[in-house]
Structure 1
Amino acid sequence: MRYHLGNRNFLKSLLAAAITIALASFRAFYLVRGAWSPHAQQKSPRYKGIVSRQLLETTPDDNANANTTLTSRQLRKGITPNNAQDTYTNSSSDSNDNEREYTAVARETLTINTFTNFQPPSDASFGLNTLDNGLFLADGITARIVAISGHKVPYHTDGGTFSTTPFHARPDGATIVPDPRPSNPGGYIYVSNSEVPHHNGGVGALTFTAQGQILDYRRVLTGSTMNCNGGKTWFGAWISCEEDFDEENGNCWQVDPTGVRVPPAQPITLGSDGGVFEAFAYDIRNPSKPRFYITEDTSWGPLRRFTPDAPDFNKPWEVLLGPGQTEYLLLNPADGTFFWTTDKNVAGQNARAFYPNSEGIDVSGNMLFFVSKVRHTVFELDLDAATYVQKSTLGGLFEGQPDILRNLLDDNNGDNTLLLFTEDGGDRAGIHARDSDGNFYVLCESNLFQPETTGIAITPDGTRIYFAYQNDGILYELRRNDNQSFRVAALNLKTHPAEMTDAERRKRHRRYS
């Protein structure tokens, strides 16, 4: 059957109109969905699901007439008018310090998720009755914004000075180490990964005084790729792991948080054959034979163990850089035992079958814990007996698993009573905790930001907790109003949802380029 469409010019015009409409629709979809280039970190990022924000450092008097104060009720409902400005106060622990403000300018219509049925958990010891800087907080806790991705970090000085380098994008795994420099007695350094692809990632370091005042921010590793998690060493180094899904050729970097050493970062021997690395842990109960471990977030990535040939603890910064033997984990589910092999291919097949996509890892005494997100399982390896057990994480990492908590809290953390952890997904992303009996607590939650919290770390005295909302690039500090210790510990066992395949994750990461 034929249809008469008139002359050829009419057909060309119709085709051109269709193409124009299609391009306009694609552009509209692209702007709503959001895209972000790591090559323009100082520009406002756009992320799927939240508004694009341009964050400006101002004084309290700047733009005074433009600010729109949002009520608690508006924030609970996720309501912000077009072009409204949310003012976040960055307060010093010293009441005499000047207050500075970050002003968040909403440039588009907000599409923030809301708490449709928000209620503080009835079984929590704390109620979320306080709203501060965009967070719902347990009673007795105060929050401040420390840094925002793409913007210079304000120092706590009378001159109103800022860092030379903007705070890094997509903050991920982090830790706190004591500042070893005599010029900053009692100070500490918050070390944070930047999970950005195509050699635009790295590590940033924030230096604080003992009172929590910001002295310095600098990049201590640049040019790396998808720095995801890692782990700290006993001598003060941060091991930053590259989760390179595109090239599958990531390294693990030994980073000096002070940035003083030359060079400040070096790739370690463990993982030098390349991979999609996630987290790091160590066992130095036997100083003559220390063991170091990394996980790999692929379906075929075996857990790796490195034993240095001739470790010299008088030169700790060299222990992970020299020669040694790398072995790979083999699980034997038939009798609940495990052993190590130098055959990477065999171990990869074993990982695919029994513990694919390993993420968080931690060591407590003779017990090694690691998580397979695909299997929704936490594995507990007895390093001395070479036996293991596995338990489901479908109800949450520590749901119904108080024995894990007792091992970690009672045996390794002295008088700490709460174990902190973060969870991805949903409208209640924040900082949660469980005690040694498995009881659940909530320190803070938010519905204003995308649902992945990262970089949880605790100061040596336990009085401050730091964490970030990764996609929004906002780093928070939590404190108790009475300035006492939280009496908490953190565990490097974070896991992500496993809905995506490896190929889908590669596609997602390429979207950030």
Structure 2
Amino acid sequence: MERRTFLRTAVIGSSAAAFGGTLWRGAAFAAPAQPAPGPYGALQPANANGILLPSGFTSRIIARSGQTVAGTSYTWHSAPDGGATFADGTGWIYVSNAEVSSGSGGASAVRFNSAGTVTSASRILSGTNNNCAGGQTPWNTWLSCEEVSRGFVYETDPWGVNAAVQRPALGRFKHEAAAADADHGYIYLTEDESDGRFYRFRPTTWGNLSSGTLQALVAGTGTSGPVTWANVPDPDGSPTLTRYQVSGAKVFNGGEGCFYAAGTCWFTTKGDNRVWAYDANSSSLSLAYDDSLVTSGTAPLTGVDNVTRSGSGDLYVAEDGGNMEICLITPAGTIAPFLRISGQSGSEITGPAFSPDGRRLYFSSQRGTSGSSSGGITYEVTGPFRS
């Protein structure tokens, strides 16, 4: 989404938070993450791509907006945003959304062989608007989300074989991201509004998103504790928008990234620079990070946006603004910058996703050095990631 400035108006609730889920080993009850040295050490000077990385890590450019992807005949889309990877035989696919309006949005895919060489690239979704983030499903489809009022979710085939399918049952609102919870049978959804809600969708049949029940999270005014869910009466959002249909639904200030693993769904809110943890096993909510609760020094993470997770349980949170960093939150509750992009202050970092083997991290600078949607750059970082 375009860069915005937000005033902090929310009253901070309890600072104690249970991270929840088996991912956060040894941190069942802990305060939100605090700054500490990262597991990979200090950032080194910017490399030839303008990226500051820890020692032992390297980067390369995969694609640039408006230019042909090397080794293919496909022109990469403008404003690359949310992304995910999918195993493809001995190789993999990286899918990336295009946050472009006027029916020029959609998504593209880049295919890699087992050595990481690009073998092809193609369009997999066209004719949509402001496809911001999304999420992958356990049945290997990509949920591409429209960040417009009463926007749709499109279920998309990363291989481009099957036509994308509009999924109105997941609600029509200003969609941001989605995360599939196969353990409990839900798709979690964030809403990019200053008074947005956090939703979950239960398909009538798991694996088929054509019908089901949309619900909104209901909770008190604090930042931690048990929550309940209530059905959204009219997922179509007309004439009453979905976020106003459930009495007592908790308000989230600018829902952004969303990622599920090991019983917990993490999601971010940009208006208050928070990373939330929803424990699906106990149906409770807590804070994994809040920049206003950093107790010493300067908060390392601001402008929170897309989020992903490595095999070690580390969370990688991209910044829209801030210092143009991807910050790493460890299971021990520490946070530090993992990388920084220099010379691109008019952009934002989008689409972080690990290759299926966990050895490569993909992400984009949505507007690159130009500050324009036509200047997007998609990167790959390789190195000794913790497993």
| Common fold: TM-score over 0.5 | yes
Q: Residue 280 of structure 2 aligns with which residue? A: 383
Shift of 1:252: 0.5
Aligned mate of 1:434, from 317, 320, 329: 329
Deviation per residue, 1:45-85 (Å, 9 max, x gap): xx9xxxxxxxxxxxxxxxxxxxxxxxxxxxxxxxxxxxxxx
Shift of 1:235: 1.5
Aligned mate of 1:131, from 47, 51, 67: 47
Shift of 1:442: 4.0
Aligned mate of 2:151, from 245, 250, 256: 250
Q: Does 1:330 align with 2:218?
A: yes
Q: Residue 240 of structure 1 aligns with which residue? A: 144
Letter in 1 for 2:85: I
Shift of 1:242: 0.4
Aligned mate of 1:267, from 166, 176, 181: 166
Q: Give the distance between the partners of 1:281 and 1:385, measured in 2 at CA.
A: 18
Q: Residue 171 of structure 1 aligns with which residue? A: 80
Q: Does 1:420 align with 2:312?
A: no
Q: Residue 22 of structure 1 aligns with which residue? A: none
Letter in 1 for 2:356: P
Letter in 2 for 1:168: H
Question: Is the Cα contact below 8 Å between 2:195 and 2:251 reproduced in 1?
Answer: no
User: Runs of 5+ in structure 1 lacking a partner?
Assistant: 1-46, 48-120, 156-161, 180-184, 402-407, 489-513
Q: Give the distance between the partners of 1:439 and 1:171, measured in 2 at CA.
A: 29
Q: Does 1:471 align with 2:363?
A: no
Q: Match of 1:422, SS?
A: strand
Q: 1:386 to 1:239 in 2, by over 3 A?
A: same
Q: Match of 1:131, SS?
A: coil
Q: Give the distance between the partners of 1:434 and 1:385, measured in 2 at CA.
A: 22
Q: Residue 228 of structure 2 aligns with which residue? A: 339
Shift of 1:388: 2.7
Shift of 1:375: 4.0
Shift of 1:425: 1.8
Question: Is the Cα contact below 8 Å between 1:302 and 1:347 reproduced in 2?
Answer: no
Letter in 1 for 2:165: Q
Q: Give the distance between the partners of 2:378 and 2:109, measured in 1 at CA.
A: 12
Q: 1:327 to 1:432 in 2, by over 3 A?
A: closer
Q: Match of 1:229, SS?
A: strand
Q: Give the distance between the partners of 2:293 and 2:361, measured in 1 at CA.
A: 22
Deviation per residue, 1:251-303 (Å, 9 max, x gap): 00111000012x2x11124434x2100110122225xxx21221111234322
Q: Give the distance between the partners of 1:367 and 1:204, measured in 2 at CA.
A: 29
Shift of 1:386: 3.2
Q: Residue 34 of structure 1 aligns with which residue? A: none
1:349-388 paired onto structure 2 within 5 Å: 350-351=248-249, 354-388=251-285
Letter in 2 for 1:171: P
Q: 1:345 to 1:193 in 2, by over 3 A?
A: closer
Shift of 1:189: 0.3
Letter in 2 for 1:178: A
Q: 1:455 to 1:397 in 2, by over 3 A?
A: farther
Q: 1:377 to 1:467 in 2, by over 3 A?
A: closer
Q: Give the distance between the partners of 1:147 and 1:397, measured in 2 at CA.
A: 36
Q: Match of 1:299, SS?
A: coil
Q: Match of 2:343, SS?
A: coil
Q: Residue 342 of structure 2 aligns with which residue? A: 447
> What fraction of aligned residue pairs are identical, expressed as a percent?
31
Q: Residue 16 of structure 1 aligns with which residue? A: none
Q: Which has the larger radius of gyration?
A: 1
Q: Match of 1:225, SS?
A: coil
Q: Give the distance between the partners of 1:293 and 1:266, measured in 2 at CA.
A: 19
Return the structure number with greater helix share: 1
Q: Give the distance between the partners of 1:209 and 1:397, measured in 2 at CA.
A: 43
Q: Residue 23 of structure 2 aligns with which residue? A: none
Q: RMSD of the alignment, in Å?
A: 3.2
Q: Residue 19 of structure 1 aligns with which residue? A: none
Question: Is the Cα contact below 8 Å between 1:145 and 1:475 reproduced in 2?
Answer: yes
Q: Residue 18 of structure 1 aligns with which residue? A: none
Question: Is the Cα contact below 8 Å between 2:218 and 2:229 reproduced in 1?
Answer: yes
Q: Residue 142 of structure 1 aligns with which residue? A: 58
Q: Residue 291 of structure 1 aligns with which residue? A: 186
Deviation per residue, 1:159-184 (Å, 9 max, x gap): xxx32x310000000011111xxxxx
Letter in 2 for 1:453: I
Q: Give the distance between the partners of 2:198 and 2:313, measured in 1 at CA.
A: 30
Q: 1:430 to 1:345 in 2, by over 3 A?
A: closer
Aligned mate of 2:352, from 451, 456, 468: 456
Q: 1:436 to 1:190 in 2, by over 3 A?
A: same
Q: Give the distance between the partners of 1:487 and 1:467, measured in 2 at CA.
A: 18
Shift of 1:417: 6.1
Q: Give the distance between the partners of 1:372 and 1:440, measured in 2 at CA.
A: 17
Q: 1:397 to 1:478 in 2, by over 3 A?
A: farther
How many residues end up aligned between the 2 structures? 326
Question: Is the Cα contact below 8 Å between 2:43 and 2:339 reproduced in 1?
Answer: no
Q: Match of 1:206, SS?
A: strand
Q: Does 1:192 align with 2:81?
A: no
Question: Is the Cα contact below 8 Å between 2:230 and 2:246 reproduced in 1?
Answer: no
User: Runs of 5+ in structure 2 lacking a partner?
Assistant: 4-34, 234-241, 301-306, 369-375
Q: Match of 2:124, SS?
A: strand
Q: 1:257 to 1:140 in 2, by over 3 A?
A: same
Q: 1:378 to 1:463 in 2, by over 3 A?
A: closer
Q: 1:434 to 1:308 in 2, by over 3 A?
A: closer
Letter in 1 for 2:190: T
Q: Give the distance between the partners of 2:248 and 2:194, measured in 1 at CA.
A: 10
Letter in 1 for 2:69: V
Q: Match of 2:205, SS?
A: coil
Q: 1:218 to 1:413 in 2, by over 3 A?
A: closer
Q: Match of 2:121, SS?
A: strand
Q: Give the distance between the partners of 1:225 and 1:308, measured in 2 at CA.
A: 25
Letter in 1 for 2:180: Y
Return the structure number with greater strand share: 2
